[in-house]
Amino acid sequence: MKLYPAIDIKNGQCVRLRQGNYDDKTVYSDEPWKVAVEFEQAGAEFIHVVDLDGAREGVSANDKAVKEIVEHVKIPIEIGGGVRSLEDIEHRLSLGVSRVIVGTKALSDPDFIKTAVEHFGADKIVVGIDAKNGHVATEGWENVSSVMALDLALKMKEMGVKTIIYTDISRDGMLNGPNIEQTKAIVDETGLEIIASGGVSSIDDLRALSLINVSGVIFGKAIYEKKIDLKEAVGLFMDNRKKKKIIASIDAENETRESVLEKVSDYDTSGVDMLFIYNYSKNAKDREDFYSTLRLVRDRTDLPFMTGVFVDRLEDVKKAYYAGACKVIIDMEAISDPELLSQAVTKIGKNNVYALVNFGLNYKEETIHEIGQVCLKYLADGVGGIMVKHLAITPKIRKYLNDNYCDVIIRDALSRNSITELLELPNVSGIATNFYEGKNVFSLKKSLSGQGFDIATPLATVDFESLKTNEKGLVPVIVQDYRTNEVLMMAYMNAEAYGLTIETGRMTYFSRSRNEIWVKGETSGHYQYVKALYVDCDSDTILARVKQIGAACHTGNRSCFYTQILKTEFENDDISAVLDNVFAVIMDRKKNPREGSYTNYLFDKGIDKILKKCGEEATEIVIAAKNPDHEELRYEIADFLYHVMVLMAETGLTWTDISRELASRE
């Protein structure tokens, strides 16, 4: 989710209006460009500017202030207010802004928007829909029409618009929270890139908007009134996207499934940030086998993975995405129908579709220009970015990447180009390569960070010196399985072990008996890979959540805490434990049938009977929910969950499958 800090300009000053009332304004700066510089320094990647005088009068009225902003910052600017003609758009673009927002004209003349999109490109035109009580407001918010905002948004989609700014003017400048319900309706119904505006007053408001899948949020007064720290917000919602990633590339077309899965396991603990697994075979059976491989990958790694697959129909995109991929990379040289690109964006979302573009090492400069124009077409179709292969770094390439503000991932074997040369290119967020197979990427990341690259790597927020140690300079470490929460062992760290743990990603301790540093698993192979480190309230104990390979205890037991001293009777009602235990019983019944078992009766009758019972129990929930006494509802929900677990067992699903799917939707 992008963050767009807002600068509203009236009479050359940075101001904010309350509910769009021109007579109720607060002046925050006489020099808007200084505000823009502050936004850029806080980490903003885009600035939203409104010419309030232009919005009211219908003519560009604050060119000087806009030019000063453009001259003082490097990040792109979008501007709205008073845009009524193609000449107005051209004039605004001539000021150096990246895109222009059209508002009133969208309502009065929808065909104008179509013409503007065709003339300037969808990446240069944004439609602003300002609404009050669901109805479109125009002329600087002073007139409210009878047209519903959602209807206008759908009309704009027909006109070729890709991005809409939706502002609830009853909330704007009031700091009383955004209109989540109305904004979500437009996001869900249009499938467009929706930027929300109006009423944002806190980090919680930003979180709420991120959950309804808006592509961005515009907010201004909350920054000026110090309700939101922009730098903090950038860290929460944008920093991970900005950091440059090392991506492991796996060619699944020329590897066996076992080999692919083995490489995935190796990369899982090597320090890479993501995987790119591709198979562009046009053979239908090969593609189906590849989808099965992707599902196995999903179950065996915590790493997010992108996938590349030959797209012959929209179903190919859906299958690859539903197999667990975070992005589908479509090879534009092999796609059967270019229209599938925009269809894929509509189906699974802008940020989940990238176009793979061949920049050809031997291509001439004029060919590169043609490819660049094609890339602009892909971006107009709504893709989240491009993956570039066969890249030769030239001044023209560098300029192209700099001028076209989109996310770029470079796929490169690193035989001709160095990773530092590629990471230095504008707008490049990651390098996909097989060069680091079998290598420790943690060391690479440390080296790149030392060279000034903003690399996606965990950084410790607590120095060892700030921890309270014992007389020997040691801190106890409690080690816990990051998935099951099982306590595995307890050991000690000194400053050196602490530093090595963070640097290598492997749990490293100080042995009190041997008086030396030791890496857990170095001799046994039972490594512990860091997932998270915490310090307690007294700063004298560390909790390490780890991925444990094999047994944690030298005796061969999974945990060192296997000897029970005492136990009282108690009922474990932890939801995870209960669901796992009930599912284990169901699976045992499937494997070892018992006479008279209702569970075995369902398995014997088959899938149709199980589905019928699931449907019946769902209906019972609906009926029980109408009853003011929720005891019955509680019973029916439990009954429904039981039958769903029988269905899961019958179809081969587990709670891990379900939990991972839910986690991916956070």
Q: Give per-residue pLDDT as tens, 287-333.
A: 999 999 999 998 888 899 999 999 999 999 999 998 889 899 999 88
- Which token pair is 115? 């013409």
Element (H, E) at 219: strand 216-219
Residues 357, 350: Cα–Cα separation, whole Å: 17
- pLDDT tens by residue, 566-576: 988 877 778 88
pLDDT value at 561 more than 70: yes
Catalytic residue among 51, 123, 130, 268: 130
Helix/strand/coil for 322: helix
205 is catalytic: no
The pLDDT score that the predictor gives to residue 140 is 46
- pLDDT tens by residue, 57-115: 878 889 999 999 999 998 899 999 889 999 999 999 999 899 999 988 888 899 999 99
Residues 594, 591: Cα–Cα separation, whole Å: 10
- pLDDT tens by residue, 25-55: 889 999 999 999 999 989 898 999 999 988 8
- Which token pair is 599? 């569970």
Contacts of 554 (CB under 8 A, 6+ apart): 524
- pLDDT tens by residue, 201-219: 898 889 888 878 788 999 9
Nearest to 156 by CA among 127, 194, 125: 127
Q: Is the pTM of this model over 0.75?
A: no
Q: What is the mean pLDDT of residues 512-536?
A: 93
The percent of residues above 90 in pLDDT, for the chain, comes to: 56
Q: What is the mean pLDDT of residues 371-384?
A: 65
Nearest to 413 by CA among 245, 242, 250, 241: 250
8 is catalytic: yes
**Domains and their CATH numbers in the chain:** 2-240 (3.20.20.70), 243-450 (3.20.20.70), 464-548 (3.10.20.810), 575-663 (1.10.287.1080)
For residues 433 and 396, the model is more confident at: 433
The pLDDT score that the predictor gives to residue 179 is 87
Polymer length in residues for the chain: 666
Beta bridge partners of 547: 529
Q: Classify strands 216-219 and 2-10 as parallel, antiparallel or unpaired.
A: parallel
pLDDT value at 188 more than 50: yes
Angle, helices 365-380/395-403, rounded to nearest 10 degrees: 20
The pLDDT score that the predictor gives to residue 43 is 87
Asked whether 447 and 519 are in contact (CB, 8 A), the reply is no
DSSP result, 120-133: H-TTTEEEEEEEET
Residue 252 zone, left/alpha/beta (φ > 0; ψ -120 to 50; rest): alpha
- Which token pair is 243? 């950091």
Residues 30, 9: Cα–Cα separation, whole Å: 10
The pLDDT score that the predictor gives to residue 543 is 97
Across the chain, mean pLDDT equals 88
